[in-house]
Amino acid sequence: MNNVRRKQNPSVPFVVQSATIALILISLTRVCVADEITVVVPHDLATTEGNTAADEFTDPIRAVGIWFADDFPEVPETHRTITGFALRPDAAADELYKAVWEDVTWRFSTTDEEDLVETLSENLDPDTIQTVFEGSREFSTSPSPLEGPRPFDYRFDFQTPFEYHPSDGRNIVWEILSPKGYDPPLLDDQHDFGEGTIYQLGTLDINGDHSQFPINKSLIAQFTFAPTRYLGDFDGNTILDKVDIDALSTALRTEHPEQRFDLTHDGQVDREDLNRWVDEFFGTWSGDANLDGEFNSTDLVAVFRAGHYEDRLVANSTWMTGDWNGDAEFDTSDLVTAFQTGGYELGPRPGVANVPEPMTSAWFALVLVGIALRARHLSS
């Protein structure tokens, strides 16, 4: 790599330098969004070892369990998407242990119920159940710290994020299907010691639906929460923009689209996913071609100037040139879609916080004024 330091050219106009500063400010503002956070459940065991260890099962097992909303710590309202969770080894587990958890399936759902019932499937709400992980995971444990519990080494990154927030008051019910049992060493658990709470039910019949054994121990887990607006950020730049909505529109027309484009979690990628991106994630209206949070005459002028309206070119249109229904064309159907949503000239969509602009108008105006004043000085 060339490490030669380059001397700044004093002849570079201040206008260029100022513009560069403006772009840096813009880029900084784009990434200044809240990152993922992790929380431990039960939250009072975040830095304390559980009082027991989970049972080991080398036989096939199907089990369900519950994490109570009250056991979560405070989670920011902006973070309503679980993107993964992790379990930790018990203090008595072997050091530097490597294992493969084969062919495991985790499903999550939510419930208002406080108690599990013996018929396993009846604990899972059909309206919220979702497969969050399916496959095999290889794990390796870290050395034990000098103080406190072991690290959360057994991590499952969700293939489909799960939308949840404990403030809604609903509990998480999990289900695990492990046809080969599980190989990881002892997991850290918390026993209720006679309080009578059943945290888990299970059966050694992988196809069975009736519990063979209740377990009054809760798995200690670490959840990763992401800002909900990270859903729909398909290029990973932590901001929702035209690249993301055009990628989603392309997925609508793809025979076998990637699962990450299924924003409604109904097993399909269709107009409902596009509507959700626009309405909920970005918080704007169909017809907002420039994605400034409003649908008004500025958008209509822009799309008609682009010249794609009912042209003879096939599949050449994008969101910014009038394709608001995802078919890659700008025609009458797009105008119908936009005006049917009822947002024309209503300003920002009520009840939804818009994705912040890369730079507020005040900041941007100040930068432009500075550039203009300096440019006038240089020209005089």
Extended beta strands in the chain, E state? 37-41, 52-53, 61-67, 79-87, 98-111, 130-140, 154-163, 171-178, 188-191, 200-203, 213-215, 217-219, 221-227
Q: Who's near 322: CB < 8 A, 6+ residues apart?
A: 289, 303, 304, 306, 308, 309, 330, 334
Q: Who's near 180: CB < 8 A, 6+ residues apart?
A: 60, 102, 103
The number of CA neighbours under 13 Å toward the Cβ of 80 is 13
What is residue 187's predicted lDDT score, i.e. its pLDDT?
87
Spell out the per-residue pLDDT of the chain, length 380, in tens: 333 333 333 444 444 444 444 443 333 333 334 578 999 999 999 999 998 877 777 789 999 999 999 999 999 877 888 999 999 988 887 777 788 888 999 999 999 999 999 999 999 999 899 999 999 988 888 888 888 899 999 999 998 889 899 998 999 999 999 998 776 668 889 887 667 789 999 999 999 999 999 989 899 999 999 886 567 888 877 788 999 999 999 999 999 888 788 888 777 899 999 999 999 889 999 999 999 999 999 999 999 999 999 999 999 999 999 999 999 999 999 999 999 999 999 999 986 544 433 333 333 334 333 433 443 343 34
What is residue 54's predicted lDDT score, i.e. its pLDDT?
76
CATH 2.60.120 in the chain: give the residue spans.
37-227
**Beta carbons of 77 and 229 less than 8 angstroms apart:** no
> What does CATH list as the number for 37-227?
2.60.120
What is residue 234's predicted lDDT score, i.e. its pLDDT?
85
- Please state, in angstroms and rounded to a whole number, the distance separating the CA atoms of residues 111 and 21: 50
What is residue 28's predicted lDDT score, i.e. its pLDDT?
34
What is residue 192's predicted lDDT score, i.e. its pLDDT?
77
Whole-model pTM? 0.58
H or E element that contains 367: helix 361-379
CA-to-CA dists, residue 144 to 44, 72, 156, 190, 193, angstroms: 20, 25, 21, 19, 26
- Please state, in angstroms and rounded to a whole number, the distance separating the CA atoms of residues 53 and 184: 12
* Length in residues, the chain: 380
Q: Identify whether 42 is preceded by a cis peptide bond (ω within 30 of 0).
A: yes
- Please state, in angstroms and rounded to a whole number, the distance separating the CA atoms of residues 354 and 335: 23
Q: Which residue type occupies 35?
A: D
Radius of gyration for the alpha carbons in the chain, expressed in angstroms and rounded:
26
**What are the strands of the beta sheet with 154-163, ordered from one edge?**
37-41, 221-227, 79-87, 154-163
Buried/exposed code over 320-348 (b: 16+ C-beta within 10 A; e: otherwise)? bbbbbbbbbbbbeebbebbeebebbeeeb
